[in-house]
């Protein structure tokens, strides 16, 4: 189940001290499909679920607008920590990995419509999601507010957003948190937050970049990535908050796949592949035991 504990300040500092990433985030091209081959060091195999074995591939749905977890590089190739994890799981199953780029709001519907076998896209483990799909936890995440460098509006947290315009991606947890905070403001007789919702995370970021939003709500991982790419343009406003587990989503009837994914993640942790991938993308502080 999800954890609502906030990270310590020391943890936050470690998260923000990540190395720079050199791959540029590509434009989010919905419907893009990329096949990942079986090259690289052979990984220990895990018993392949019958349906995946019969198809010769495992198909993932992912919103490719959330660096450094999943995004498109300059050649529109899916890259990121989640992509590496999904590809490694496919190798352990002895099949190919196919990626479908789906807007975040449509990920669970696409999974339920059998457009893919699993969702890997910084999907938070929340009780309401567990009522609809099964979840295999594999890392942590936190929420953050990104602002323009210098923090002109002196935003330090959600409590400073009364009357402010905040850009977010549709269907995200930060959108829900902003809505809850905005209600608190109106109940107290204060101005609500002007929440501006976009279908893609990159569109929300652009609103902050061009000065059409006072803040951009996202995950700490994505916020830190953009801040490191453009340190003179953005900064994280205040400490991160709402730490939560991140999971791979599967259909409830696909118990064999869910069990196999749990074993694959355990094997990745045991042989060091899991930590190696997170470290590559500057996410080692997000690891789970």
pLDDT band at 43; cut points 50, 70, 90: low
Q: Which two tokens stand for residue 145?
A: 């507010």
pLDDT band at 32; cut points 50, 70, 90: very low
Q: Are residues 234 and 262 in the same domain?
A: no
Spell out the residues 6+ positions from residue 148 whose beta carbon is closer than 8 angstroms to its own. 208, 211, 233, 234, 235
Strands 118-124 and 57-62: parallel
**pLDDT mean across residues, the chain:** 87
User: What is the predicted pLDDT for the residue at 11?
Assistant: 36
Q: Are residues 99 and 59 in the same domain?
A: yes
Q: Which two tokens stand for residue 184?
A: 């608190």
Q: Are residues 40 and 128 in the same domain?
A: yes
Instruction: Report yes or no on 188 lying in a domain.
Output: yes
pLDDT band at 20; cut points 50, 70, 90: very low
Q: Are residues 36 and 178 in the same domain?
A: no
Weakest-pLDDT range from 36-45, 85-94, 103-112: 36-45
User: ∠ at Cα 58 (55, 63), nearest 5°?
Assistant: 140
Q: Are residues 30 and 125 in the same domain?
A: yes
**198, 170 contact by CB (below 8 A):** yes
Q: Are residues 265 and 134 in the same domain?
A: yes
Average pLDDT of 12-26? Answer: 36
Instruction: Report yes or no on 4 lying in a domain.
Output: no
Tell the residue number behind the tokens 């309401």, with chain if given: 128
Instruction: Report yes or no on 182 lying in a domain.
Output: yes
Q: Rounded to whole angstroms, how far apart are CA atoms 122 and 125? A: 9
**65, 28 contact by CB (below 8 A):** yes
Q: Is the pLDDT of residue 117 over 90?
A: yes
Q: Are residues 83 and 160 in the same domain?
A: no
Q: Is the pLDDT of residue 129 over 80?
A: yes
* Domain at 127, CATH number: 3.40.190.10
Distances (CA, A) of 220 to 19, 175, 189: 14, 14, 30
Query: In sequence order, what DSSP letters do the residues of 153-184 get, joined into one string?
Result: T---SGGG-TT-EEEEETT-HHHHHHHHHHHH
Q: Are residues 191 and 162 in the same domain?
A: yes
Q: How many domains does the chain have?
A: 2
Q: Beta-carbon neighbour count of residue 57 at 10 Å?
A: 17
Q: Rounded to whole angstroms, how far apart are CA atoms 212 and 222? A: 20
User: What is the predicted pLDDT for the residue at 46?
Assistant: 87
Lateral strand order in the sheet of 70-72: 65-66, 70-72, 78-79
Q: Are residues 117 and 154 in the same domain?
A: no
User: What is the predicted pLDDT for the residue at 278?
Assistant: 95
pLDDT band at 44; cut points 50, 70, 90: low
Q: Is the pLDDT of residue 160 over 90?
A: yes
User: What is the predicted pLDDT for the residue at 252?
Assistant: 98
Domain range spanning residue 155?
142-242
Question: What confidence tens digit (pLDDT) does each residue in 46-92 have?
Answer: 899 999 999 999 999 999 999 999 999 999 999 999 999 999 999 99
């Amino acid at each position: 189940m999800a954890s609502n504990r906030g990270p310590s300040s020391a943890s936050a500092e470690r998260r923000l001290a990540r190395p720079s990433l050199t791959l540029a985030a590509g434009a989010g091209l919905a419907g893009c499909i990329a096949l990942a081959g079986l090259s690289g060091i052979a990984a220990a195999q895990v018993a392949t679920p019958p349906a995946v074995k019969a198809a010769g591939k495992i198909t993932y749905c992912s919103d490719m607008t959330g660096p450094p977890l999943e995004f498109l590089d300059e050649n529109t190739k899916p890259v990121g920590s989640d992509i590496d994890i999904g590809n490694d799981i496919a190798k352990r199953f002895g099949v190919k990995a196919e990626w479908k780029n789906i807007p975040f709001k449509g990920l669970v519907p696409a999974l339920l419509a059998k457009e893919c076998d699993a969702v890997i896209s910084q999907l938070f483990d929340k009780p309401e999601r567990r009522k609809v799909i099964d979840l295999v936890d594999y890392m942590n995440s936190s929420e953050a507010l990104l602002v323009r460098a210098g923090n002109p509006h002196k935003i330090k947290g959600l409590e400073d957003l009364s009357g402010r315009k905040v850009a977010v991606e549709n269907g995200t947890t930060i959108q829900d948190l902003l809505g809850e905070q905005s209600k608190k403001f109106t109940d107290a007789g204060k101005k609500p937050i002007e929440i501006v919702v976009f279908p893609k995370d990159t569109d929300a970021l652009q609103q902050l970049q061009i000065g059409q939003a006072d803040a951009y709500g996202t995950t700490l991982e994505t916020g830190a990535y953009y801040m490191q790419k453009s340190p003179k343009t953005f900064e994280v406003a205040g400490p991160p908050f709402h730490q939560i587990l991140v999971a791979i989503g599967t259909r409830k009837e696909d118990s064999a796949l869910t069990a196999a994914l749990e074993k694959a993640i355990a094997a990745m942790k045991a042989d060091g592949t899991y930590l190696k991938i997170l470290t590559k993308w500057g996410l080692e502080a997000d690891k789970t035991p």
